[in-house]
Chain A
Amino acid sequence: MKLPIYLDYAATTPVDPRVAEKLMQFLTMDGCFGNPASRSHKFGWQAEEAVEIARAQIAELVNADPREIVFTSGATESNNLAIKGAAQFYHKKGKHLITAKTEHKAVLDTMRSLEREGFEVTYLDVEASGLVDLDKLTAAIRPDTTVISIMFVNNEIGVIQDIAAIGELCRSKGIIFHVDAAQATGKVDIDLETLKVDLMSFSGHKTYGPKGIGALYVRRKPRIRLEAQTHGGGHERGMRSGTLATHQIVAMGEAFRIAKEEMHAERERVAVLRDRLLDGIKDIEQVFLNGDAVQRVPGITNVSFNYVEGESLIMALKDIAVSSGSACTSASLEPSYVLRALGLTDELAHSSIRFSIGRYTTEEQIDHTIKIVHDAIGKLRDMSPLWEMYKDGVDLGSVAWVAH
């Protein structure tokens, strides 16, 4: 078996070979390299046609109109354009925005930036399950609330928010609803004909497409307007100027086409692997699944191994590529803000690992992962003073720790 085993599909996915094949046809002199905005010759027309096919493929996955799709450089840009664009365009209606504490930084930091422009933002607490409580969201709405942004699938814990219900609420109050769906495409069914969502962000590279490409869905009926954040040649109906990256767009289209075709079979296959993984580690003591146990995508599994520190666990798991809920690897010793928002103790947040399974994960890889996890936890707990105290019946909460 080739090591390390990749179990970090939520960070990024490899490009599907079928997608890579397509992408390469749009680069060289022999290929379709033209500028889709060139109206005066065949090179441009061909590129434009390829872009429009891709736009339709993306729209099809989420049951939208191709004219509602705006290409961007990725979900981060889509989130920026959606939230800033809508907040600024409708600022005369109100200056209050709502999001949740477990959103991606691309949403949270965009909100922070708007606060500096004079907007007010409510960062909603989530339940211990990671889900947004509809009543609490309702209570947070003010007469001057203009935009609510809630993600579809959480990138760290994989829980699925009730987008349908939140959409109904927003629509009934005349509030624009933005959804970051970077982790949702190809994983959950998205029907924008029925969902009352006004803006939705997509990413290419979370769905077996290339990095550097994304899209924003902008509803036409009722029409949502945005203040452009990138100015220039007026591409993408003035909402996002800049020459379209034909090769990446075509690749994202192909990736989303494949996602639509294979989503249901893939979801089942991934769920079987996820169950196998959970089954394999369930006999380890003091293991906790983070986030709602039911309302979640099968691809993302976040677990805390109590009394084991996250970064040393990552080191012990060097043959598997996973990510840790502890940001100890950076200069700060902060545990994941998402896990903290769920109410996890610092210890449990520090001890968490996200396993994300995808298209190329095999049963053999999962079995090997289970073995590595058992060995690592055994070794680190033998070394852990906290584990020793737990085994001796010491209540760790009663210890007077010397913080440093």
Chain B
Amino acid sequence: MAYSTKVIDHYENPRNVGSFAKDDPTIATGMVGAPACGDVMKLQLKINDQGIIEDAKFKTYGCGSAIASSSLVTEWVKGKSIDEAALIKNTDIAQELALPPVKIHCSILAEDAIKAAIADYKQRHGN
């Protein structure tokens, strides 16, 4: 199937691949998806005292669109507050990457990954 140039670019040069130490209190981790469904995304955010996302890293098991979606959101969330990051919608991701209808679930997964990471942060910081 034909991928958009942006998907191919993110796939071939993924941004911010890697992991932060999970026990670092400034790190929030969101892992979504299931191997049985063919995609698992792990998104980690480094959040400072002001609630600003200073850095982000991802690891993704999934198709090119899933990798591109997660790579893209690591770029987008950096510098945002967690409240701003929570506003990122899957439709924005899908539009930016020109995902075909059958790949919309990849963008939904990326949105879910942000939400899961924020939820992890809030749970750890008691609000």
Given A346-B37, A383-B17, 12 other A-B contacts at CB below 8 A? Answer: A309-B62, A312-B66, A329-B1, A330-B102, A346-B36, A385-B42, A385-B60, A386-B40, A386-B61, A387-B61, A401-B35, A402-B112
A49 within 8 A of B: no
**B35 lies within 8 A of A396 (CB):** yes
**A404 lies within 8 A of B60 (CB):** no
B126 within 8 A of A: no
Interface string of B55-83 (1 = CB under 8 A from A): 00001111110110000000000000000
B19 within 8 A of A: yes
What is the CB-to-nearest-CB distance from B16 to chain A, in angstroms, rounded to a whole number? 11
Q: Given A312-B11, A329-B1, A383-B14, does the pair A401, B63 have CB atoms closer than 8 Å?
A: no
- The 7 A-B residue pairs with the shortest CB-CB distance in the complex, in nearest-first order: A401-B34, A346-B36, A311-B63, A385-B42, A385-B59, A347-B35, A403-B34
What is the CB-to-nearest-CB distance from A329 to chain B, in angstroms, rounded to a whole number? 5
**B38 lies within 8 A of A307 (CB):** no
Interface centre among B19, B33, B35, B40 (most CB of A within 10 A): B35
What is the CB-to-nearest-CB distance from B102 to chain A, in angstroms, rounded to a whole number? 5
B32 within 8 A of A: yes
A326 within 8 A of B: yes
For A403, the closest partner residue in chain B by CB is B34
B94 within 8 A of A: no
Interface centre among A309, A326, A385 (most CB of B within 10 A): A385
Chain B at the A interface: mostly helix, strand, loop or mixed? mixed
**B34 lies within 8 A of A384 (CB):** no
The residue from B3, B14, B41 contacting A385, defined by CB atoms under 8 A apart:
B41
- A157-201 contacts to B, CB under 8 A, are none
A3 within 8 A of B: no
B6 within 8 A of A: no
**A404 lies within 8 A of B64 (CB):** no
**B37 lies within 8 A of A388 (CB):** no
The residue from B17, B38, B109 contacting A382, defined by CB atoms under 8 A apart:
B17
Chain B residues contacting A386 (CB-CB under 8 Å) are: 35, 40, 61
A139 within 8 A of B: no
Q: Given A404-B108, A404-B109, does the pair A383, B59 have CB atoms closer than 8 Å?
A: yes
**A331 lies within 8 A of B102 (CB):** yes
The CA-CA distance from A384 to B59 in the complex, in Å, is 5
Chain A residues contacting B36 (CB-CB under 8 Å) are: 345-347, 401, 403
**A309 lies within 8 A of B38 (CB):** yes
Interface string of A246-277 (1 = CB under 8 A from B): 00000000000000000000000000000000
For A330, the closest partner residue in chain B by CB is B102
Chain A residues contacting B17 (CB-CB under 8 Å) are: 382-383
**B35 lies within 8 A of A383 (CB):** no
A335 within 8 A of B: yes
For B1, the closest partner residue in chain A by CB is A329
B31 within 8 A of A: yes
Interface string of A314-345 (1 = CB under 8 A from B): 01000000000010111101010000000001
What is the CB-to-nearest-CB distance from B99 to chain A, in angstroms, rounded to a whole number? 13
What is the CB-to-nearest-CB distance from A58 to chain B, in angstroms, rounded to a whole number? 36
For A382, the closest partner residue in chain B by CB is B17
